[in-house]
C-alpha cells in the first residue's frame, strides 16, 4: 500500500503562477494579448501627436496587462495566503487524501476529488471548481515522480 505524506507550504508566488497560467490558457489571456498588441500599435502610430492625457492613457493601456494586472493578482494572492491555515499536512493512500490540521482531520476519497491538475512546479488537488490543495515541487521533494505516478493511478 502506497502512502505519501507532505507538509503543505504554499507561498504567494505559487498561487500567482497558477493564476497567471489559468488566465493565459483561457479566452481572457487571448484578449489580454490582443489588447496589449493593439495598444502597442496605437502607441507606435499616434504617440508623437497625442496630447498629454492621451499619452498617459496609451501608456497605461500598454502596461496594464503585462505589469499592473500581474501585480494586482500577486497582491491578492499574498492576502489570501495570510488567511490559509499553517502547518497543514496532506497524506495520500489508496483510499484517498487525508488533511491533517492541528486538531482537525478530514478524509477525502478519490471518487470525491473534483480534479487533479499536474502543472509545472506543482500539483493542485481540487475538491470543487474553485477550492483545492496545492503541493509544490518543494513540498514533494525526491518523492515527486513516485507521487505523480501514484496520482495518475487514482486520477
Q: How many domains does the chain have?
A: 2
pLDDT tens, the chain, 155 aa long: 568 999 988 999 999 999 999 999 999 999 999 999 999 999 999 999 999 999 999 999 999 999 999 999 999 999 999 888 888 999 999 999 999 988 889 999 999 999 999 998 999 999 998 888 999 999 999 999 999 999 998 87
Same domain flag for 107 and 94: yes
The 8 Å CB, 24+ separation contacts for 60-65 are 61/35, 61/36, 62/36, 64/35, 64/36, 64/39, 65/32, 65/33, 65/35, 65/36
Other residues' Cβ atoms within 10 Å of the Cβ of residue 108? 18
Show which of 25, 54, 82 is a domain's final residue: 82
Same domain flag for 71 and 105: no
How far apart are alpha carbons 147 and 128 in whole angstroms?
21
Same domain flag for 77 and 88: no
| Whole-number pLDDT of residue 24 | 94
Same domain flag for 50 and 77: yes
Same domain flag for 58 and 96: no
Same domain flag for 88 and 49: no
C-beta separation of 40 from 62 below 8 A: yes
Residue 67, all three cell numbers: 505589469
Show which of 28, 47, 82 is a domain's final residue: 82
What residues make up the domain containing 104? 4-9+84-154
Same domain flag for 88 and 135: yes
| Whole-number pLDDT of residue 1 | 57
Same domain flag for 119 and 129: yes
C-beta separation of 73 from 16 below 8 A: yes
Same domain flag for 29 and 50: yes
Same domain flag for 65 and 92: no
Show which of 82, 106, 141 is a domain's final residue: 82
| Whole-number pLDDT of residue 79 | 94
pTM for the predicted model, two decimal places: 0.81
Amino acid at each position: 500500500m502506497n502512502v505519501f505524506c507532505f507538509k503543505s507550504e504554499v507561498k504567494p508566488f505559487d498561487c500567482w503562477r497558477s493564476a497567471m497560467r489559468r488566465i493565459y490558457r483561457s479566452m481572457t489571456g487571448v484578449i489580454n494579448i490582443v489588447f496589449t498588441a493593439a495598444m502597442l500599435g496605437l502607441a507606435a502610430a499616434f504617440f508623437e501627436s497625442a496630447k498629454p492625457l492621451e499619452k498617459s492613457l496609451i501608456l497605461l493601456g500598454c502596461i496594464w496587462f503585462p505589469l499592473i494586472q500581474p501585480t494586482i493578482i500577486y497582491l491578492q494572492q499574498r492576502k489570501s495566503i495570510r488567511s490559509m491555515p499553517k502547518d497543514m499536512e496532506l497524506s495520500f493512500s489508496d483510499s484517498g487524501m487525508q488533511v491533517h490540521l492541528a486538531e482537525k482531520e478530514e478524509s477525502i476519497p478519490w471518487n470525491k476529488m473534483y480534479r487533479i491538475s499536474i502543472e509545472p512546479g506543482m500539483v493542485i488537488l481540487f475538491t470543487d471548481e474553485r477550492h483545492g490543495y496545492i503541493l509544490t515541487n518543494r513540498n514533494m521533494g525526491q518523492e515527486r515522480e513516485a507521487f505523480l505516478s501514484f496520482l495518475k493511478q487514482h486520477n
